[in-house]
């Protein structure tokens, strides 16, 4: 009997276990849903975006190829021409600046020479002036000495004459 009861109870529990399994798989097992979503996403991406992405990549490849073949060569040639022109202008400017510096150097040298000549002339005039002053001083000193000599003689004569009158 027990076996029968166990079998009868087992047969009653089986539908419950089956229902619990279905509830579990629907509520808690998300793998089938996620796998379905992944399949849908891959399918949509491959069908809709795949061709568009291929076209975009093909356009990019063509643009890069055209840039490398044509635009890059034009840019390189233009840059080369512009750099040559800039280099030529810089050389011309450098030559002009060099000439200006040489002129300025020559002008400064000329001014320095003129200044030196003026300084030498001034020194010569000063020396001449000082000699002239010494000569004039010597003349004045000589005149003063002569005048003093005359005055001494005059005073000595006046003393002699005064001495004649003092004897009275």
- Dist. CA 153–CA 59, nearest whole Å: 132
**CA–CA dist 140, 145 (Å, integer):** 8
Rounded Cα distance between 21 and 32, Å, is 15
> CA angle, corner 137, sides to 134 and 138, nearest 5?
85
Average pLDDT, the chain: 85
Local confidence band at 18 (pLDDT 50, 70, 90 cut-offs): confident
Work out the average pLDDT over 14-19: 76
Structure-derived torsion over alpha carbons of residues 129, 134, 135, 138, reported in degrees to the nearest 10: 160
Confidence of residue 5 (pLDDT cuts 50, 70, 90): low
Place 76 in a pLDDT band, splitting at 50, 70 and 90: confident
Predicted local distance difference test score (pLDDT) of residue 7: 56
Tokens linked to 51: 């061709």
Q: What is the pLDDT of residue 50?
A: 60
Task: Give the residue, 118 or 63, on which the prediction is more confident.
Answer: 118
């Amino acid at each position: 009997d027990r076996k029968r009861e166990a079998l009868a109870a087992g047969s009653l529990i089986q539908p419950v276990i089956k229902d619990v399994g279905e509830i579990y798989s629907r509520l808690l097992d998300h793998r089938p849903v996620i796998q379905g979503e992944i399949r849908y996403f891959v399918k949509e991406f491959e069908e809709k975006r795949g061709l568009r992405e291929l076209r975009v990549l093909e356009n990019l490849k063509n643009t890069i190829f055209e840039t490398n073949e044509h635009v890059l060569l034009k840019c390189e040639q233009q840059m080369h021409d512009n750099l040559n022109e800039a280099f030529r202008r810089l050389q011309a400017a450098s030559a002009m600046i060099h000439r200006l510096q040489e002129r300025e150097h020559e002008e400064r040298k000329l001014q320095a020479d003129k200044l030196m000549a003026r300084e030498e002339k001034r020194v010569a005039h000063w020396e001449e002036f000082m000699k002239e002053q010494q000569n004039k001083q010597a003349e004045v000193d000589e005149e003063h000495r002569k005048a003093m000599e005359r005055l001494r003689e005059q005073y000595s004569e006046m003393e002699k004459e005064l001495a004649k009158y003092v004897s009275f």
